[in-house]
Structure 1
Amino acid sequence: MDLIPQQLKAVTLTHVRYRPGDQLGHFLAWISLVPVFISLGGFVSHFLFRRELQGIFFGIGLVISQFINEFIKTSVEQARPETCTLLEACDSHGWPSSHSQFMFFFATYFSLMGCKGIGFWFLLVRLLGVLLVRVGSGW
């Protein structure tokens, strides 16, 4: 029994791996990206047919966030952990994480949308009230 794992090749878009020379594996690696392409098509068609500024700004924000992420990665050049060779994922720099950057943008965007929906002043007054109660209870 062979204990050394065979080297796998990856579709770099989402790092789906397959054995080199395996035509079916290569095809299925790309087929696994169909939900991504469907989502992207839905996003683009939403822009084209609805023409809502909120969706357009969300898309622009995603692109800007990704550019900022790539700029920071190439500027800092933080190496990935040494275990990346086992996962065959050493093809880019490690920090900042694209997933973390996306989640930060997503959470910030929808938090600001929530502030807009309930009113900034209402949120500010509630926050100040909570801070006053916290400071008052500490004394």
Structure 2
Amino acid sequence: MDPPSLASLSLTHVHYNPHDRFSYLCAWLALVPQGLCVVYATLMWSSREVEICLMFAGQMACEALNWALKRWIKEERPRQMYGKGYGMPSSHAQFVSFFSLYLTLFLLFRHAPHPTQTHTPTTYAQRLGLSVLALASAAAVAFSRIYLTYHTNKQVLVGCAAGAAFAVVWFGFTTLLRRSGWVHWGLDHPLARVFRLRDLVIEEDLLDAGWARWEDKRRKRSVNGKKKT
């Protein structure tokens, strides 16, 4: 009997021209959404910050919107591309547009870190530079979808517009949740207490998390070591 034909798991299966170095780079850029999902999971588990959880919830809602739009519009991918599924709008472009714009809105309008004795937080100019870098990276990922012929120009532009629009809507929604007290109410819920959810990143850099306690512990160890000698 002939062995059964095997299927390909297309989650990270990217077509590119092996003789084109820029095409190879674009193939790696196509993995950015998967990488960002790993970043989301890592930060949510390690920091337990509710802001990151809210951002990830918006990211998943944006993906659901893309799934619905593709099946409503039903526009095929470019003919020279052998990829499966509909192409309008580009899910990659929509994903990175939401991520980069929501991050920009957070850094410029919500994040206000305070200095501590052991840490100087990022300035507004530094946060602006980080925002520009995030937006430029999103543009590179979006362009890679055109270069690899997975999408047309219009499909990528619509994906960017949908992701950006949803980022603004979701940022406004989370702002409303905060101002109305729903976020604080949720953090006081017993389930949130079990998972140790917190809301510190608004006023505190992630880099500062636990640093003051570590510096205090390090100074005490140094003083104890000198006493012994």
What band does the TM-score fall into relative to the shorter chain?
0.5 to 0.7
Go from structure 1 to structure 2 and tell me whether the alpha carbon gap of 1:112 and 1:98 turns closer, same or farther (over 3 Å shift): same
- Name the residue aligned to 1:57: 54
Separation in structure 2 between the aligned mates of residue 103 and residue 81 of structure 1, nearest angstrom: 21
- Name the residue aligned to 1:78: 75
Is 1:115 paired with 2:109?
yes
Between the two proteins, the alignment pairs up a number of residues equal to: 88
Separation in structure 2 between the aligned mates of residue 100 and residue 45 of structure 1, nearest angstrom: 23
- Structure 1 unaligned runs (5+)? 1-8, 18-32, 119-139
Is 1:68 paired with 2:61?
no
- Name the residue aligned to 2:90: 97
Separation in structure 2 between the aligned mates of residue 12 and residue 60 of structure 1, nearest angstrom: 24
Separation in structure 2 between the aligned mates of residue 43 and residue 109 of structure 1, nearest angstrom: 14
RMSD across aligned positions (CA): 2.7
CA contact (8 A) 1:10 1:16 kept: no
Percent identical among aligned pairs is 26
Separation in structure 1 between the aligned mates of residue 93 and residue 41 of structure 2, nearest angstrom: 24
**1:108, CA displacement in angstroms?**
2.1
Separation in structure 1 between the aligned mates of residue 110 and residue 91 of structure 2, nearest angstrom: 27
CA contact (8 A) 1:73 1:93 kept: yes
**Greater strand percent: which structure?**
1
* Amino acid corresponding to residue 111 of structure 1 in structure 2: T
TM-score normalised by L of structure 2: 0.34
* Amino acid corresponding to residue 79 of structure 2 in structure 1: E
1:2-51: CA deviation from partner (whole Å, max 9, x where unpaired): xxxxxxx642112257xxxxxxxxxxxxxxx9xx58x62x5334323422
- Structure 2 unaligned runs (5+)? 1-6, 16-30, 113-229
TM-score normalised by L of structure 1: 0.53
1:84-107: CA deviation from partner (whole Å, max 9, x where unpaired): 1xxx31x11011101110122013
Q: Which of 2, 10, 13 does residue 11 from structure 2 map onto?
A: 13
